[in-house]
Amino acid sequence: AGSGGYGYLRQPMWWAGMLTMIVGEVANFAAYAFAPAVLVTPLGALSIIVSAVLAHHLLAEKLHAFGWLGCLLCIVGSVEIVLNAPEEKEITGVKQLFAMAARPGFVAYAGATVGFAAYLATRVYPTHGSSNILVPIGICSLVGSLSVMSCKALGTALKLTFQGRNQLLEAETWMCAAVVGACVVTQMNYLNKALDVFNTAVVTPIYYVMFTTLTLTASSIMFRDYLDQGAREVAGQICGFVTILAGVFTLHVTKDHGEGTGAGG
C-alpha cells in the first residue's frame, strides 16, 4: 500500500499491466456493440477466475478448496445469466440511443450519478479517501456505470458504420466518445488510488459488486430490457448475479484461509 499518489506511474510493471488491460478493455468494448450490457457486465467475473488461476500457477498464490468453490460459483452464475439474457435490441442509429438516454428516468439517474460522484470527489475524498475504501470505489463505480452506457452507444455507432450506415458524421457519436474518454480517465485515476492504498483482495470484490450493480441499474433504466422478458428470465438473471457475487466473495474473503490454516498447524 502507498500514499494514494501517482508513484505507480514510475513502475514498468504497472505500464505492462496497463497495456494488457487496454487490450482486454478493447475486446470488452467490442462486446458491448453486439450484446446487452446486462449480459456483458456480469460476465466480467470470469476475469477474476482467470486472474486467480494464473496467480495459482505463476505467482504461487495457491487456490485452496474455497478458492476453487468460488470459481465454480462464478461459472455457474455466468451460465445462468447467459441462459436468461435478453436479446439485443435492433438499433438503427446513434440518435435512437440518445432518445433512450433522454427519457426522464435515465436523465434523473445520470444527473444524480454525476452529482454524487462530484460530491464524493470534491468533498469527501480529500479527507476520507485514504481511510474509507468505499469513497474511491464509489466514484469509480458511479462514473463507470455511465461509461458503459456511452461505450454501448459508441460501439453500436462504430458497428453500424462498418455495416455501411455511417454514424461518424453524427454529433452524438463524438459526444459519446468524449464522455467515454472523461469517464475512463476518472475511473482509472480513482481505481489506481484505491489499489495504491488498499489491499487488492479487498478492492476487487467491492469494485465488482458496486460497479456491476450500478451498471445493471443504469442499463435497466435506459434500455428497459426487463419489459421484454418474463418473470422467469428476470429471476434467472438475478439468481445468476447473486451466485456470481457469492463466488467473488468466497474467492477473495477466503483467499488466505489456506495459509492461515497451515500456520496454525
Banded model confidence at residue 112, pLDDT cuts 50, 70, 90? very high
- pTM for this predicted structure: 0.76
Exposed/middle/buried for 177, CB within 10 Å: 0-12, 13-18, 19+?
A: middle
pLDDT in tens, 114-124: 999 999 999 99
pLDDT at 8: 64
Residue 170 has pLDDT above 90, yes or no: no
- Mean pLDDT over each residue of the chain, to the nearest integer: 81
Check residue 25 and give its pLDDT.
Answer: 73
Whether pLDDT at 265 is above 50? no
Output the CA–CA distances (angstroms, integers) from residue 169 to 36, 91, 147, 251, in the order listed.
25, 17, 21, 46
| Owner of C-alpha cell 452506457 | 149
Per-residue three-class SS string for 119-186: HHHHHHHHHHCCCCCHHHHHHHHHHHHHHHHHHHHHHHHHHHHHCCCCCCCCHHHHHHHHHHHHHHHH
What's the confidence (pLDDT) of residue 109?
95
**Residues for the chain: how many in total?**
265
Chain position carrying cell 447473486: 242
68 residue type, one letter: W
- Each residue's pLDDT tens digit, 180-193: 999 989 998 898 88
How far CA 62 is from CA of 56, 133, 240, in Å, comes to 5, 26, 27
pLDDT tens digits for range 26-68: 787 778 777 777 778 777 777 777 777 777 777 666 777 887 8
Look at residue 255 in the predicted model and tell me its pLDDT.
61
**Integer-rounded Cα radius of gyration of the chain:** 19
> Does the pLDDT of residue 259 top 60, yes or no?
no
Residue 258 has pLDDT above 60, yes or no: no
* Predicted local distance difference test score (pLDDT) of residue 263: 44
- Rounded distance, CA 129 to CA 124, Å? 7
